[in-house]
Structure 1
Amino acid sequence: MLKLLNLKATPRSFNISNFFFGNSVTNHEFLVFFRVTIGFIILGHFLAVLGDFDLLFGMNSLIPADIHSVQMYSKIVFYNEIIDFITLYTKSEGLSVTIFQVTYILLCILIIVGFFSRIAAILLVFLQVSLMKSSFYFCYGADFFTSMSLMYIALFPSDDYFSIRNYFWKIKEKSNLTPFRRLFQIHICIAYFVSGFEKITGYNWRNGESVWKAIHLPGFPNDFHLNFDSLGNYPWIFVLAGWFTILVEMLYPLFINIRRTRMIWLCLTISLHLGIALVLNLYFFSAILITWNIANYYFNDEKKVALA
């Protein structure tokens, strides 16, 4: 079967075995960029909610943890359970919460500097998921992509390069980066296509209604005090915005993997997320998706493995 997939070698042939397992990806900068940037984003996201920590998490939050847990799988370890376990030794709930917060921050720093970042990512995703599931009704896309990002850091040889671990313990045999990057690229392509396909199957995005509703959510004013009410006289703008989003997402797997259109589609996708950040105040969600795009398709040194 593998021989059938190995096409005759020509300048434009596509060898699926080499594409997934060859040594075509030699630029490790995408790996360093992803680890460091995601570490800073997760740290920034945690610090941003630290002032309202008690209002978001725990039994004394705005929505108590036991209400959040109603829709959760019972085997999940919740934030309150972690705090109760630590309190068995500290005898102080306040100190236990502080230990949890400091541990979370330290794990982010370990990922950033590359000190056994894969182990740190595994521990951090455990804490992050416990927080996310303990505040289910406050979660949004950034939280889910944070979990996935941490799993990729744990899966990838994240601290083989530009890391404290590599500085003190020289890693002589470097891992083949090609399978890791291909897996990541397939994931992001599927994510965008499914998102675009879901939008086009309904009418809200095709007629611009979803865009109009998104920028007029009650109780969520734009941080830059942008007023879009006057655009209501030009409904075609929202129709174009909706179709722009659909086409960028649905056609992402095709044009991002063609060399001649890769940078164009990368810029279009980044501009889409910048618009989401500036208009909808979804800074951390946009930052993570922009990081995913740059890590996958900006640092590019493949040889004879592009789709076109």
Structure 2
Amino acid sequence: LAGTGHGLISRNLGETILSLESCLVPRLGWFVTLGTRIGLHEETVLSVAWICLLGSGCGLLMGIASRFSAILAWFLHLCAAKSGGFVSYGVDNFTTIGLFYLMLSPLPDRYSVDWRLRKSRLNDPQLLGFWLRLLQLHLCIIYFFSGLTKCLGSGWWNGSNIWRALIRPPFNIIDPEILVRWKYLFPVAGISICLLEIGYPFFIWNSKTRKIWLIFICGMHAGIGLAMGMYLFALIMIILNVTAFGPGLIRTEHARISLRPQEVIL
């Protein structure tokens, strides 16, 4: 994401196109411009940005300065994703979504360093249920319309989209001979994905079918990750689903916030 003459794809080109949409969209160019005014080179500014993004991610993982780390991670990731629009894809969008809800949700978590060392506590635990419900609704909308879009085309019904996805570089990690041998399963896989996604808001919301549908969805993403080498994408989607609908399935002795149709563990 370096400027003109550096990097795989010019950041300046991506940000110029981004400016046509809106000059208010966050981008790494803001930091580069600011750094130039104080005598810093572009490479130095970008390196500092990546270090800060890595540091904020580690802070979130350990629960150190949780709120600040969440805000910084969301903003820097959004800037990087928008500046690298030519090379970003779904995983960047879903990571931004996850960081956005994490930034707004009550922090810190009971297992964080902030909770244990600084004795920080949630001011209003009920807000946790509100933001969790919002994430659940967001995922339901995403999956439903994703499944609906797939159903409108023939490629998912006859399996041709599965075939094209598996033979397209750089996702063609499975030997073509194996794909040809199992080509009769492609229509089944395509229809199954359509049904899983379009049925997501109906079956994941029902407490009786939530567990099995969550397992199916996580299995689908794990399969896609293994078959196409999209391990990070699969991990992000599994984390989002388990975060949204997993807590009500885990029974512990910890205090709970009652939420219908599920419970949220504090």
> Please, which of 69, 87, 91 is the counterpart of residue 138 of structure 1?
87
Given the superposition, is the C-alpha separation of residues 143 and 120 from structure 1 closer, same or farther in structure 2, using an over 3 Å criterion? same
Correspondence 1:1-308 to 2 at 5 A: 56-59=1-4, 60-72=6-18, 73-89=22-38, 91-167=40-116, 168-171=118-121, 173-176=123-126, 177-222=128-173, 226-232=174-180, 235-300=183-248, 305-306=260-261
**CA distance, structure 1, for counterparts of residue 64 and residue 113 of structure 2:** 5
Deviation per CA, 1:78-102, whole angstroms, max 9, x where unpaired? Answer: 2133123124335344433332222
Relative contact order, higher structure (CA 8 A, sep 6+): 1
Gaps of 5+ in 2: 250-256
Q: Secondary structure at the match of 1:137?
A: coil
For structure 1, list consecutive stretches of 5 or more residues without a partner in the other structure: 1-55
Equivalent pair of 1:160/1:174 in contact (CA under 8 Å): no
Distance 2:147 2:122 in 1: 43
Change (3 A) 1:233 1:115: closer
Q: CA deviation at 1:219?
A: 4.5
Partner-residue secondary structure (3-state), 2:34: helix
CA contact (8 A) 2:159 2:188 kept: yes
Whether contact under 8 Å (1:58, 1:134) holds in the other structure is: no
Task: Check the 8 A contact 1:231/1:237 in 2, yes or no.
Answer: no
- Counterpart of 2:168 in 1: which secondary structure? coil
Q: Contact conserved, 2:204 with 2:213, CA < 8 A, in 1?
A: yes
Following superposition, the deviation at residue 172 of structure 1 comes to: 6.5
% of aligned pairs identical?
A: 29
| TM-score under structure 1 length normalisation | 0.74
Tell me the TM-score normalised to structure 2 length: 0.84
Give, in whole Å, the separation in 1 of the partners of 2:175 and 2:69: 43
Tell me, in whole angstroms, the C-alpha distance in 2 between the residues paired with 1:146 and 1:213: 26
Deviation at 1:276, TM superposition (A): 1.0
SS at match of 2:260: coil
Q: CA RMSD in A?
A: 2.3
